[in-house]
Amino acid sequence: MQYLFDENGRRYLDAFGGIATVCCGHCHPHVVDAIVNQTKRLQHSTILYLNHAIADLAEALANKLPGNLKVVFFTNSGTEANELAIMMARLYTGCHDIISLRNAYHGNAAGTMGATAQSNWKFNVIQSGVHHAINPDPYRGVFGSEGEKYAKDIQDLIQFGTSGNIAGFISEAIQGVGGIIELAPGYLPAAYNIIKKAGGLCIADEVQGGFGRTGSHFWGFENHGVVPDIVTMAKGIGNGIPLGAVITTPEIAEVLTRRNYFNTFGGNPVCTAAGLAVLNVIEKEKLQDNAFVVGSYLKERLIALKDKHDLIGDVRGRGLMLGVELVTDHELKTPAKLETLHLLDQMKEIGVLVGKGGFYGNVFRITPPLCFTTEDADFLVDAMDYTMSKM
């Protein structure tokens, strides 16, 4: 179900999906049943005592990944998943330097807040060993859509800011919090090449873009033809249940077997049972295909809306991970911050919930449940059109 209801019973079309999280829809009966049944059987055991709820999801997730990405660690959130991935890269390589992208969001604990590169998400952070590369942002970036040109900055960071060897590189395929920014084509393959040459590991943050959201592929990184060394995930994995995971190769995972790494709730069986149900629902209900079909339709309608309203500077994204950037001046790309806030309020009045993001807070983030329909897409676009016409 793609609706939320307030305390007066008023219905809202949820085009934000609990921040790209509720991928199967709210209170999906199959996911709810899995949670209830598992709660009755075994509520908690820790991963010290392996059981089917944990092992079955680990196996199903590993089967979704390419290459030798076969070892799964469960966490409770995306932040924890990225913290673990960064720690693994440091342990495995024996190096400390990490490269992430400007404008990225990777979490809010010590290491991940360092990797996050937006001032409004960083407080009192010790910026230990993290270097931020120029963002390959086709709309605002200096090189437009020429991905390989941006990648040169990674080479410079390594050359001038590190000893020459690094621990790794972390990036989303489409920046979510950053304002639904699709990395310029060609960037990730070029970046991965440079990182590998410097001895680093490539970490794909699939916290928002995974689980079929981009429509064309199950994982966001697959849209760029790269294979990461470590993949992190959360949000969509549990349809709203606190669950995250890090998946890597046996060779890299081995670095943790020599240490006392532990996470009490990571792999909680109720959460992993929800995770397995989510994978089943995505497959049975062909939600990835739906994200592709409805997402393509919605994007087309949004592009048409851009021709009608000057306020829309850019429409971008894939599948059901779409962004609409609002500007008051097309040439200067002046962020329409207040207008964005006003429009969000107005759309809520009509009964449509959309997220907001981007460094300037001027991007509509459209990341609904993957069961969104073309009728929902029409309602959303009509609501935008109507509210913009009244500006």
Spatial separation of the C-alpha atoms in residues 318 and 300, rounded to whole Å: 11
Nearest CB to ligand PLP, comparing residues 106 and 131: 106
Longest pairwise C-alpha distance within the chain: 63
Nearest CB to ligand PLP, comparing residues 89 and 383: 89
Asked whether the beta carbons of 263 and 87 are under 8 A apart, the reply is no
3-state secondary structure of 318: strand
Spatial separation of the C-alpha atoms in residues 192 and 227, rounded to whole Å: 9
Nearest CB to ligand PLP, comparing residues 176 and 240: 176
Nearest CB to ligand PLP, comparing residues 79 and 362: 79
Spatial separation of the C-alpha atoms in residues 348 and 146, rounded to whole Å: 37
Q: How far is the CB of 75 from ligand PLP (least distance, A)?
A: 9
The edge-to-edge listing of strands for the beta sheet with 244-248 is 71-75, 244-248, 230-233, 201-205, 168-171, 98-101, 130-133
> Token digits for 127?
């910026």
Q: How far is the CB of 379 from ligand PLP (least distance, A)?
A: 26
User: Dihedral sign, CA of 81, 86, 87, 88?
Assistant: positive
User: Looking at beta carbons, which residue is closest to ligand PLP?
Assistant: 78
Nearest CB to ligand PLP, comparing residues 149 and 224: 224
Q: Could you tell me how far CA 155 lies from the centroid of its own chain? A: 25
Q: How far is the CB of 177 from ligand PLP (least distance, A)?
A: 5
Residues that bind ligand PLP (CB under 6 A): 19, 77-79, 82, 105-107, 172, 176-177, 205, 207-208, 234
Nearest CB to ligand PLP, comparing residues 106 and 299: 106
Nearest CB to ligand PLP, comparing residues 236 and 383: 236
Nearest CB to ligand PLP, comparing residues 84 and 255: 84
Asked whether the beta carbons of 80 and 112 are under 8 A apart, the reply is no
Q: How far is the CB of 106 from ligand PLP (least distance, A)?
A: 5
Q: How far is the CB of 107 from ligand PLP (least distance, A)?
A: 4
Q: How far is the CB of 33 from ligand PLP (least distance, A)?
A: 24
> Token digits for 38?
């598992």
Q: How far is the CB of 108 from ligand PLP (least distance, A)?
A: 6
Nearest Cα residue to 117 out of 195, 128, 106 = 106
Spatial separation of the C-alpha atoms in residues 155 and 163, rounded to whole Å: 12
Spatial separation of the C-alpha atoms in residues 364 and 383, rounded to whole Å: 13
Nearest CB to ligand PLP, comparing residues 195 and 231: 231
Nearest Cα residue to 319 out of 224, 218, 215 = 215
> Token digits for 37?
């049944």
Nearest CB to ligand PLP, comparing residues 2 and 232: 232
Nearest Cα residue to 293 out of 379, 214, 188 = 214
Nearest CB to ligand PLP, comparing residues 231 and 336: 231
| HSE-up (13 A, CA, CB side) for residue 125 | 21
Q: How far is the CB of 104 from ligand PLP (least distance, A)?
A: 8
The neighbour count for residue 142, using CB atoms within 10 Å, is: 10
Nearest Cα residue to 321 out of 172, 146, 143, 132 = 172
Q: How far is the CB of 133 from ligand PLP (least distance, A)?
A: 16
Q: How far is the CB of 234 from ligand PLP (least distance, A)?
A: 4
Asked whether the beta carbons of 234 and 75 are under 8 A apart, the reply is yes
